[in-house]
Amino acid sequence: MTTEPETWRQLHAVLDGPLPEIAQRFSRFLASDSPHEALVIFTRECTGRPRKVAGASEIVDRVSIDELDAIKESVARGVVVDAAGVLGGTSRNLRILRDESDTLLVLVPRKSSRGGRAAAPDCLLRAWFAIVATSIRQQVAQASPDYLAESRAASSERARTIAQLTETHEDTLGSILGTLRSRDLDDRTARASAAETASSALIALRSVGDTDRKLATEAVATAFARLQAELEPVLRHLEADVEYVQPATDGRSLPGEIAHAARAIARAVAVALGAQPGVTRLRIAWQSRGHDLVVDIRDQCAGGLDADALERQLSGRLRTLDGTLEVETIAGWGNRVTATIPLETPAARPDEDLLSSLNPRELEVLGHLALGRRNKSVAAALGVSESTVKFHVTAILQKLRVSNRGEAGLLGARAGIAAD
Over residues 219-249, the pLDDT tens digits come to 888 888 888 998 888 888 888 889 999 888 7
Task: Give the contacts of 167 (CB within 8 A, at least 6 positions apart).
Answer: none
Rounded CA gap, 409 and 418, in Å? 9
CA torsion sign, 104 to 110 to 114 to 116? positive
Average pLDDT, the chain: 80
Rounded CA gap, 420 and 415, in Å? 15
Rounded CA gap, 79 and 122, in Å? 8
Judged by DSSP in three states, 94 sits in strand
Give the model's pLDDT for residue 185. Answer: 60
Tell me the sheet residues that pair with 329. Answer: 335
Over residues 262-278, the mean pLDDT reads: 88
Give the model's pLDDT for residue 25. Answer: 93
CA distances from 7 to 22, 30, 130, 133, 134 (A): 16, 10, 15, 17, 18
Cα 244 to chain centroid distance, Å, stands at 26
Could you tell me which of 347, 343, 349, 348 has the C-alpha nearest to residue 323?
343
DSSP H or E segment with residue 325 = strand 324-330
Q: What is the pTM of this model?
A: 0.57
Over residues 296-353, the pLDDT tens digits come to 999 998 777 888 888 888 888 888 888 999 999 887 788 999 999 988 765 445 555 6
Give the model's pLDDT for residue 247. Answer: 87
Judged by DSSP in three states, 48 sits in coil
Q: Which CATH number is 218-342 given?
A: 3.30.565.10
pLDDT tier at 210 (50, 70, 90 boundaries)? very low
Residue 281 has φ and ψ, to the nearest 5°, of: -155, 140
Proportion of the chain above pLDDT 70, given as a percent? 77
Over residues 89-123, the pLDDT tens digits come to 899 999 999 999 899 999 999 875 444 444 578 88
Over residues 361-405, the pLDDT tens digits come to 888 899 888 888 889 889 888 888 888 899 899 989 988 888 888
Whether 412 contacts 369, CB under 8 Å:
yes
pLDDT tier at 173 (50, 70, 90 boundaries)? low
Give the model's pLDDT for residue 116. Answer: 43
* Architecture of the 4-142 domain: 2-Layer Sandwich (3.30)
Over residues 125-142, the pLDDT tens digits come to 999 999 999 988 888 877
Over residues 177-206, the pLDDT tens digits come to 666 666 666 666 656 666 666 666 555 555
> Which CATH number does the domain 354-414 belong to among 1.10.10.10, 3.40.920.10, 1.10.3720.10, 1.10.8.60?
1.10.10.10
Give the model's pLDDT for residue 187. Answer: 66
Residue 41 has pLDDT above 90, yes or no: yes
pLDDT tier at 84 (50, 70, 90 boundaries)? very high
